[in-house]
Homo-oligomer: A and B are copies of this chain.
Amino acid sequence: MKPNEIKIFCPATIANISCGFDVLGVALDSVGDEMVVRKTSEKGIRITKLQGQDLPMETLKNVAGVAGLALLESSDSQYGFEIEIYKNIKAGSGIGSSAASSTGAVWAMNELLDKPFSTIELVKFAMEGERLASGVAHADNVAPALFGGFTLVRSYEPLDIIPIPSPEELFATVIHPQIEVKTSDSRKILKTNITLKDGIKQWGNVGGLVAGLYTNDYDLIGRSLEDHIVEPIRSILIPEFDKVKSEAIASGALGCGISGSGPSIFALSRREKIARKVADSMKEVYKNVGIDYEIHVSKINSSGIKILE
């Protein structure tokens, strides 16, 4: 008999990976939330527990609730669902906190309903959670959380998501300085226009990054982790960004950039040992100026959300 309840791990994700602004994201393996989702005879969605973050529990104000309702509306299910959310990812940290909850809800519901929906359909439901969280139904965090590894959002209309393999030895370091950057602010300072010249550099690097991921060419991945368009603008909202980045590179990181819309900063490295050295060098920068931080080192998660126990 299928269980009526599952406990899952929902990974944190890095979106806007350098050159891949708005299109490339990646899932982490050892940073994420836990959720328990239970199938009930009572219809609808109820958030019955929410620990770790101060977030609304009303279904229509909670990203997991809204994403879950989107799934239910497309389904002829006679069931409803209770959702418990145990947050480890801080809201506003820039590593996909809302995406973890949205995707966890719809992924677990799909499991408990015996998988009536494809992964791309789950992405669409989860995007409704993102719409609630940020006003924009973006897919660059929810896609890697659901597919695992790197994902490319090639197009929104129609939605076209390309999972891209992740080299075995790739590790991420993410540091979250404890300051608030409002997504609306980091959106507002973006320019509507860019030069064609910068655009060409950017799509050259996206091509290089994708090629490097397919061929396990760590050097190429590193050379391609450049962003001439968004990083120079948004990084001014993140204290000591340039210093953190230069220290990360000096410690052996392949590349370093802003995670999502910040304020977290990510670095990618070959091998865990280097990722940890990079972490130490990043910490040092914030210690020296007295800014609190959280830091994570994680393998790339190649399979996305998973069942615990």
Contacts and interface: CB of A to CB of B under 8 A. Distances in A.
A31 to B, nearest CB: 25
A220 interface: yes
Given A190-B196, A194-B194, A194-B199, A23 B207 contact: yes
A207 B207 contact: yes
Contact of A23 (B24, B160, B200, B215): B200
A286 interface: no
A224 interface: yes
A55 B209 CA distance: 40
A72 interface: no
Contacts of A211: 152, 162, 164, 210, 214
B196 A23 contact: no
Interface string A189-205: 01111111101111111
Contact of A208 (B162, B190, B201): B162
B22 A200 contact: yes
B201 A199 contact: no
A193 B195 contact: yes
Chain A at the B interface: SS class: helix
A155 interface: yes
A206 B160 CA distance: 13
A20 B200 CA distance: 8
B207 A24 contact: yes
Given A22-B200, A204-B206, 10 more contacts: A20-B203, A20-B207, A22-B204, A162-B208, A164-B211, A194-B196, A196-B229, A206-B206, A206-B207, A207-B209
24 contacts: A21-B200, A22-B200, A22-B204, A23-B204, A152-B211, A154-B205, A154-B220, A154-B223, A155-B201, A155-B204, A155-B205, A155-B223, A162-B207, A192-B195, A193-B193, A194-B194, A199-B202, A199-B203, A202-B203, A204-B206, A206-B206, A206-B207, A207-B207, A207-B209
